[in-house]
Amino acid sequence: MSSHRKTTVAVVSLCLLCGALFLAQPALAAHGFRSGVQLCLSTVAPALFPFFVICDLLLACPLQGRALRPLGRALGLRQPRATVALLLSWFGGYAVCARLTGKLHREGALSARDAALLLLLGCCSSPGFVVGCVGGLLLGSVRTGVLLYTLQLAANLLAAALCLPLLPTDAKQLPASHAAPAQPSLPLALQNAADSCLHVCGCVVFFRMLAAVIHPFLPPYALAEAFLAAGLEISAGCAAFAPLGGAAALYGCCLCLSALGLSVWMQLGMLLQRAVPLRLLVIDRLLHIALLQGLVWLLIRFVPGALPAASTLPARVIPMQRLPWDAAAVSLCFVCAALYKVRQNFYNG
């Protein structure tokens, strides 16, 4: 059996299995759909839509001057617009990177080599997600979030450097003044941004539904649920690892940031529209996992209070603590009054 036929059989089998799971557990599928839509409306779309619009407008402006050429040359990018796209990707995240890479390559502004290198360097989670959500909300330390975001970019650079020999070779080099950017158009930028947001939200909703119907078949261990969530969707994976506390929470979130999850890989494929193959990115992210874990292990000890402690108490247990003297006095008076009232009712009855 040829490899193409084997791939077709595997895809058909997975589709039938997913369809059977959705039909067998409609309530769980509906719950996953609702949670996915809520996540898109509250987080994904508000975070990505303005960045998509702004990036389209900035790429259409003549911003790629001489100031960015040294940075581009240091990173191995030969086209000036690639450097602008890289800086926008570091602030907008992997979705912005994939969209800009595919757009510039289809327009002829990027060679195959520069497009592949831009994807390796720029594919990362946005600072809003890493610093605000992962660091501030899930791990309880904004400093940890800043460190993770910085080390994520450092791992991007190191992994891309190791993958340089695997980059495609260009048959012909694009001239430096190739394809001047089009005039900025807000209506076109809004249309493209809305289309890209729909692609991203569709992936998020589908994999949230898939996680919901697979969950009952997992062993009753928090670690198993965390690995499933990480394999399907990056934000759900970080949220599942964070309650484990300690090193498991920290390095689990690092794993999610490197592996990305199936939802993100589907988003990258749709936004790139086959402009750049993903095989090289797979190798890059495997290296990224080891590099990010090692960098965090080396540097996390220099951030005070960055490693959260694991709690073994159930959620219903309230730890005891001392009350201020005024609050203790009021509480004592209330308890005494309540006991006196109970005593009156008991003896009068």
Report the alpha-carbon distance of residue 180 to residue 165 in Å, rounded.
30
- Range of the structural domain that residue 218 is part of: 25-168+185-302
Residue 255 lies inside a defined structural domain of this protein = yes
Report the alpha-carbon distance of residue 279 to residue 277 in Å, rounded.
6
Report the alpha-carbon distance of residue 181 to residue 170 in Å, rounded.
22
Domains held by the chain: number? 1
- Determine the pLDDT at residue 175: 45
CA–chain centroid gap for 85, Å, is 19
Residue 307 lies inside a defined structural domain of this protein = no
Contact status, residue 235 vs residue 260, Cβ threshold 8 Å: no
Report the alpha-carbon distance of residue 312 to residue 246 in Å, rounded.
11
Tokens of 238: 């970080």
Neighbours of 223 (CB within 10 A): 13
Residue 283 lies inside a defined structural domain of this protein = yes
* Ranges of the chain with pLDDT below 70: 1-4, 61-67, 170-184, 304-349
Residue 267 lies inside a defined structural domain of this protein = yes
Neighbours of 302 (CB within 10 A): 8
Residue 121 lies inside a defined structural domain of this protein = yes
Residue 341 lies inside a defined structural domain of this protein = no
- Determine the pLDDT at residue 338: 54
Sequence letter at residue 327: A
- Determine the pLDDT at residue 123: 93
Report the alpha-carbon distance of residue 54 to residue 147 in Å, rounded.
27
Digit-coded pLDDT (tens) for 161-189: 999 999 888 655 554 444 455 566 778 87
Contact status, residue 122 vs residue 86, Cβ threshold 8 Å: yes
DSSP helix/strand/coil, 129: helix
- Determine the pLDDT at residue 334: 52
- Determine the pLDDT at residue 151: 95
- Determine the pLDDT at residue 287: 96
Residue 320 lies inside a defined structural domain of this protein = no
- Determine the pLDDT at residue 137: 85
- Determine the pLDDT at residue 177: 42
Which of 32, 295, 321, 29 is CA-nearest to residue 152?
A: 295
DSSP secondary structure letters along 210-231? HHHHHGGGS-S-HHHHHHHHHH
**How many Å from the N-terminal Cα to the C-terminal Cα in the chain?**
88
DSSP state of 312: -
Which of 219, 296, 221, 218 is CA-nearest to residue 255?
A: 296
- Determine the pLDDT at residue 254: 94
Residue 87 lies inside a defined structural domain of this protein = yes
* Start-end of H helices in 60-185: 69-75, 80-92, 94-107, 112-122, 127, 142-162
Which of 212, 268, 200 is CA-nearest to residue 18?
A: 212
